[in-house]
Homo-oligomer: A and B are copies of this chain.
Amino acid sequence: MSDIKKVVLAYSGGLDTSVILKWLQDTYQCEVVTFTADLGQGEELDPARQKALKFGIKPENIFIDDLREEFVRDFVFPMFRANTIYEGEYLLGTSIARPLIAKRLIEIARETGADAIAHGATGKGNDQVRFELGAYALMPNIKIIAPWREWDLLSREKLLKYAEDAGIEIDMKHKQGGAPYSMDANLLHISYEGRHLEDPNAEPETSMWRWTVSPEEAPDQPEYIDVEFEKGDIVAINGKRMSAASVLTELNRLGGKHGIGRLDLVENRYVGMKSRGCYETPGGTIILTAHRAIESLTLDREVAHLKDDLMPRYASMIYNGYWWAPERVALQKLIDHTQEHVNGTVRLKLYKGNVIVVGRDSKSDSLFDSTIATFEDDAGAYDQKDAAGFIKLNALRLRIAAKARQK
């Protein structure tokens, strides 16, 4: 262990990563670099700097970055171009943030000449995999310290004792017996695991949810919004052009207000177990619905089906931590190419948990041809007799087989 000289720690400033910071100093006797990111989790970052300084971290070793625009532009939006959902339900809010953190950890390691990184993910979850696969892909010789897999602070009591001994401030919620939910937040979502969610048959407490009101508490009046797409990404809301992070921030506000985007599910972790998670993804839920709607108008059928067929696999790549793997990059080439013509506007009605598409339009790229689809006279745009031959030849193999099997 003694060969590690400098380690970059993904540091939130919270209790767990503070204990890790101290434990790294104690155990590895190495220089620690802290990295704290603003991914839109809605917490002040300045306390993280103060705490790091208290641990004796050198000012030049404290990295605090606002990554919100990069997060949405280069990770969230590319993912939504594929209408990505894991296991039919989960919008991958945690999964999609990890590769960016891995990337920054490695960049900082290079910048500071560190030979290792460390993170606070446990040995049971997906996040350790996501951090580490990303880090290895970007810097194959990096050393990785995962304290939860190494130390013996596996009970809550031991951890608190260690914190106390180290003079780490423990706030009220931790002192009051009972572990809190295991939570993760960024601009795309907030997640909850643990506590009584560990019984998949138990309904979540209403007090758990933080970002959205319940549908019951949402306004009695629906709200209509227009979102505008360029190459598959939302670039404007109600006619107002915005940056990527601003789009998601505003959609979170709107979704949260209308009780949109709560999820309660049992998922299959990459490490082999089922786990119960609750998620709030207000803006993401709106994006997904709107994106499908604009694609329904502008995307060729077979391209859309190809994307649908590949989506679950793409979702698993992200869920399992393979964002930086070449197969994800290759799939992204295909996905991004298909978005060339995904331009136009979708009109949505938000109401008590519902995101309802009420209109879709694309001046430049609509493939909806009402002169053909009409139930009225189409003036010869479509020759109904063509359908006879179409059906006859599609049926040919079925007829040949039916005759053969009759024999």
Contacts and interface: CB of A to CB of B under 8 A. Distances in A.
Contact of A397 (B367, B377, B391): B367
A203 interface: yes
Interface residues of A, number: 131
Contacts of A389: 383, 385-390, 392
Contacts of A271: 387, 390, 393, 396
A326 interface: yes
B303 A313 contact: no
A406 B385 CA distance: 27
Interface string A328-364: 0111011001100100000101011110111111001
Contact of A393 (B272, B296, B399): B272
A399 B141 CA distance: 8
Contact of A274 (B199, B367, B377): B367
A264 interface: yes
Contact of A129 (B149, B308, B394): B394
Which of A326, A330, A351 gathers the greatest number of chain B CB atoms within 10 Å?
A: A326
Given A123-B384, A274-B297, A399-B137, A375 B330 contact: no
Interface string A43-62: 00000000000000000000
Among A137, A304, A359, A384, residue most surrounded by chain B Cβ atoms (within 10 Å): A384
A385 B148 CA distance: 9
A312 interface: yes
A316 interface: yes
Q: Which among A156, A194, A308 has the highest number of chain B CB atoms within 10 Å?
A: A308
Copies in the complex: 4
A327 B302 contact: yes
Given A88-B292, A359-B201, A389-B388, A395 B273 contact: no
Nearest to A395: B136
B149 A387 contact: yes
Contacts of A405: 341
A18 interface: no
A161 interface: no
A202 interface: yes
Interface of A: 83, 87-89, 122-124, 128-129, 132-133, 136-141, 146, 148-149, 154-156, 179, 182, 193-195, 198-204, 215-216, 220, 222, 262, 264-268, 271-276, 292-293, 296-297, 300-306, 308-309, 312-313, 316, 322, 324-327, 329-331, 333-334, 337-338, 341, 347, 349, 351-354, 356-361, 364-370, 372-377, 382-407
